[in-house]
Amino acid sequence: MVSRMQKLDVSDDKAIRMTIESASGHARNFVPHAASAQACIKASKSDAQMGLSRLEAEARLEAHGPNEISSAQQSNIIQLMARQFSSGLILVLIGAAAVSASVGYIGDAATILAIVLVNAILGGVQEWRAANSLAALKKFLSPRAAVVREGVTQDIDAREIVEGDLIRLKTGDRVPADLRLIHPTGLTIEEAILTGESSATSKQTKPVASNAPLSERTNLAFMGTTVVAGHATGIATSTGMRTELGRIAALTEDLGDTKTPLEIKLQTLGKQLGIAAIAIAIGLTALGVLTGRPWFEMLMTGVSLAVAAVPEGLPAVITITLALGVMTMARKKALLRNLQAAEALGAVDVICTDKTGTLTRNEMLVTDVWLAAGALKVEGNGYAPSGNFIDSNDQPVLPSAREDLQALLHVAMSCNNAEVIEDPDGSWRKVGEATEAALMTLAQKGGLSTRQHLPAVEELPFSSARKRMTVVVENETGKATALVKGAPEVILERTTHVRIGKDIVAIDDDIRAQATQAFTAFANAGKRTLALASRNLDTGMPDDLEDVEQGLTLLGVVGILDAPRIEVAAALADARKAGIKVVMITGDAGETAAAIASQIGLAGTTVVTGPHLDTMTDAELRAAIASDAIFARVAPEHKVRIVEVLQALNQRIAMTGDGVNDAPALKRADVGIAMGIRGTDVARDASDIVLADDNFATIIAAIREGRRQYQNIVKFVCYLLSSNTAEVIAIGLAIIVGGPLIFLPVQILWMNLVTDGPTALALGTEPEDKTVMASPPRPSAEPILTRARLTLVASAAAYMSAATLVVFWLSQTKNPTDLAYAQTMAFTTMILLEKVNVLNFRRFQSDAGLGVTSLNQNRWLAIAIAGTIALQLLAIYAPPLQSALHTVPLNGSDWLIILAAAVPVLAVGQATKLWISSRN
């Protein structure tokens, strides 16, 4: 296709489209798994080396649409508003409006309906904002794929893949489309999502019967399945809804559709408060009717009271706050995959972090090479393949003159799946794993060209559990050799010979000791260490492929520099202040781990290695963690054990991971954190959070944000509760003592549904308290309403209800015949009290100031307060609202009384905080 495309007049859009239509028409009767790979490439008009051209890919994307499984349509804003009407209490209100209308109170009925409508609009807009944030986040998290276009491998959004695209797969990838495999190397794919079979299928390239069931189509890779080992290239045969997965339309992973523990907790709290409120409402209504008040007035008061006091909007407000917080975290490069994570993050006690790439920069540079004939230093920077090899006399070495170095470099180049690429600006970057890229650079510094990279006939891939990788290559004469690299002690165990200069001799204890001394010295300097070895397979391949890794000839050892990230030391200090323990768990050598730990200021000097951990009891392991041990040379299953041991102590664990085998530990941890750059799709799918920059400091930033959100949720829950309690007490007391109603039903609705909800939501955007990272993680059993918080709620509510009642009675005494005046005074006093009282809930600490001067730090709250007061002015001075809410205009002295009643609530709040802190 590429060559044909080039011959076409590419500016002629129509010509391109016709070509594609005939291509897809052709493909319709084509059965990819029954045809050869070549035939598939031809049928899809692609090219096995170059892939598609950019223009061709764009045209196909336009013709066939994006490569995605369409999920249920997103709710639109109208639907979200409509949903607000489905709540029970709103239906009761609509019923109340109908009753009002039927007994002739048309005005009240209209007001109730208007308030319900305003409430639905506000609720709908907020939910819509939250849904949009989550949708934007999904875009961030959308999978990516390595695609060859115009001969260059590119990392693209998987939704842009088109039929005919040449795709590269590697271990840990989620297959991005249905592919016909061209070059699978040791490729094994887990296809349970499609076939239900939990054991992974080994893939190959020969055609299979056209009627073979999915599980036997071993030359295809299906969208949504995961590569558990090996790598491959393949050609996309179907995308989007035309894939097997699309056909069964399974994959729907909806962000935010499960309730978080906090939401559940608050729902329960909301229910309990709701039942109490309804009981009180019924009681007061009954009392009112029994003491001779008109039944209709009491019915409406009861309904309004119930609506006022039932905090049924609470879980929605929490979801909105968490969802908006998710966006804040995304800006800080922590992408949350579910809402639970936001909440869990704020409560983390222990972070188990890997080292490479998270605490260090993952920019690897081979600085040392040990050969049995002598050690060499390597000069250079980054991945640029230029720099000298320097011997122990500080003299440059001519690499081509050193056969032993050439043999080592040959392994470095061919036992390697990475590339280093020069960008147009002259800088060099890696494609693939950093360790392998560093070895590729090393080989090129030694004069090897990428043309000397021998293709693997067989491959035993690297895994953190095996800690080694082997390829079998053949030279032009068909002679096979195994090339091996891996952790030095793992390679030494399998070594029988060593290369010294030009000779290969049996290895003795002395050479083993020298090699060990060399790699230990590299590790003590914080470097990553690898040994390189080979085995001549002249006598033929062993029956079991793994046996090629025995009887090896050691060629040398390398030391790789990977400097700590600059920002990590400060982040660790923050974690310490916040009472969060950080445990390093690494696949690297103990000495390397200890050296890096001391460079970044991580406590702990004892190192526990994976094999040692296996011999420990749970109690010993707990003691080791308590004494700040570092875990090195661990395998992924050790991570699961560490999580379990800590969870048994009721600790909440965040665990990082990147490989396929890390998935169980990521799932098991309270917060699984996958790496966005280094991580595999499998690790990402198993995690709660993806770090866009792989950086440890981002975890701490996300925890800080998680804590802020939790604090703010607590703040608005307490605030709402104090407002509602104050209203219920004031109305209730007035009924009990037999006085007139202090607020009319429409006024209660106005107060709660129109003015107080937005104020509470604005509290959710409070900036963080100074103490946010200065106090230990909250205890897991801590309720939202602690005794101290309840005390503040109660004292504020007591004052607000008392002050409102006093204003009401004063007004009645002043104007005994004008009930509307007294009610307007009480109504306005309560609204103003609530606006002043919100300042009490900005901070719970007594030394944090009154929350007035710092109002500029929370723009939304300032807007909510000013907006509410402006609305209240309209409510009492604008004639249409006057008649809707039954208010009368107030004069200057009335306002003085209201202010005199409202402002002291700040003093009450402050005095309570001082009293609470004096008791602690």
324 binds ligand ATP (CB under 6 A): no
Binding segment for ligand ATP (CB under 6 A), chosen from 118-126, 525-533, 722-730, 776-784, is: 525-533
Which single residue is written with the structure tokens 């730090």? 857
Would residue 365 be called left, alpha or beta, if left means φ above 0 and alpha means ψ between -120 and 50 degrees?
beta
- Pick the binder of ligand ATP from 24, 67, 464, 765 (CB under 6 A): 464
Q: How far is the CB of 559 from ligand ATP (least distance, A)?
A: 11
436 lines the binding site for ligand ATP (CB under 6 A) = yes
Choose the binding region for ligand ATP from 199-207, 584-592, 684-692, 702-710 (rule: CB under 6 A). Answer: 584-592
Least distance (Å) between residue 445 CB and ligand ATP: 19
With contacts defined by CB under 6 A, name the span among 305-313, 522-530, 547-555, 597-605 that binds ligand ATP. 522-530
**Contacts within 8 Å (CB) and 24+ apart, 130-134:** 130/319, 130/320, 130/323, 130/324, 131/74, 131/75, 131/80, 131/323, 133/323, 133/324, 133/326, 133/327, 134/255, 134/256, 134/323, 134/326
Nearer to ligand ATP, 171 or 804 (CB): 171
Residue 360 in 3-state DSSP?
strand
Residue 646 and residue 644: Cα distance in Å, rounded? 5
**What type of residue is 745?**
P
Using CB under 6 A, pick the residue from 263, 588, 694, 894 that binds ligand ATP: 588
In whole angstroms, the minimum distance from the beta carbon of 664 to ligand ATP comes to 15
- Judged by beta carbon, residue 120 or residue 146, the one nearer ligand ATP is 146
Task: Return the axis-axis angle of helices 787-814 and 696-736, rounded to nearest 10°.
Answer: 40
Q: Which is nearer to ligand ATP, 555 or 735 (CB)?
A: 555
Nearer to ligand ATP, 354 or 681 (CB): 354
Q: Is residue 355 involved in binding ligand ATP (CB under 6 A)?
A: yes
Active site residues: 354
Contact 239, 67 (CB under 8 A): yes
C-beta atoms surrounding 547 within 10 Å: 12
Shorter beta-carbon distance to ligand ATP: residue 163 or 433: 433
Q: Angle at Cα 361 formed by Cα 354 and Cα 331, nearest 5°?
A: 85
| 653-657 and 350-353 strand pairing | parallel
Q: Find the shortest distance in angstroms from Cβ 669 to ligand ATP.
A: 15
Q: Segment near ligand ATP (CB under 6 A), from 90-98, 355-363, 514-522, 816-824?
A: 355-363
Q: C-beta of 589: minimal distance to ligand ATP in Å?
A: 6
Which listed residue (60, 159, 468, 707) binds ligand ATP by CB under 6 A? Answer: 468
671, 345 contact by CB (below 8 A): yes
CA torsion angle 691 697 699 702 (round to 10): -100
By CB under 6 A, name the one of 366, 487, 624, 885 that touches ligand ATP: 487
- Look-up of token digits 């229910």: 271
Among 342, 437, 469, 653, binds ligand ATP (CB under 6 A): 469
Which of 803, 785, 822 is closest to 906 using CA atoms? 803
Distances (CA, A) of 601 to 328, 351, 401, 459, 573: 29, 15, 43, 40, 8
Task: Tell me which H or E stretch contains 80.
Answer: helix 77-84
Task: Select from 201, 301, 586, 840 the one that contacts ligand ATP (CB under 6 A).
Answer: 586
Counting residues that bind ligand ATP (by CB under 6 A) gives: 22
CB of 419 to ligand ATP, least distance (A): 14
**Residue 441: exposure state from Cβ atoms within 10 A (0-12, 13-18, ≥19):** buried
Cβ contact 237:32 at 8 Å: yes
Nearer to ligand ATP, 466 or 778 (CB): 466
Q: Which of 528, 581, 708, 835 binds ligand ATP (CB under 6 A)?
A: 528
Nearer to ligand ATP, 347 or 487 (CB): 487
- End-to-end distance of the chain based on CA atoms, in angstroms? 77
Question: How many Cβ atoms are within 10 Å of 648's Cβ, its own excluded?
Answer: 10
Q: Which amino acid is at 178?
A: D
Q: Is 84 a binder of ligand ATP (CB under 6 A)?
A: no
Residue 279, both tokens: 């009981």
Residue of 234, 240, 587, 604 that binds ligand ATP (CB under 6 A):
587
359: nearest Cα among 697, 615, 629, 47: 697
Return the number of the residue (298 or 643) whose C-beta is nearest ligand ATP: 643
- The correct pick among 354, 591, 705, 727 for binding ligand ATP (CB under 6 A) is 354
The region of 14-22, 309-317, 463-471, 475-483 touching ligand ATP under the rule CB under 6 A is 463-471
Q: Does 368 bind ligand ATP (CB under 6 A)?
A: no
Distance, C-alpha 99 to centroid of its chain = 50
Binding ligand ATP (rule: CB under 6 A), the pick from 24, 67, 356, 724 is 356
Q: Which residues make beta-bridge pairs with 148?
A: 153, 166
Query: Whose structure tokens read 């499960």?
Result: 258
- One of 100, 435, 687, 858 touching ligand ATP (CB under 6 A): 435
Q: Tell how far CA 599 is from the center of its chain.
A: 28
Of the pair 485, 497, the CB lying nearest ligand ATP is at 485
By the criterion CB under 6 A, which residues form the site for ligand ATP? 354-357, 433, 435-436, 462, 464, 467-469, 485-487, 528-530, 586-589
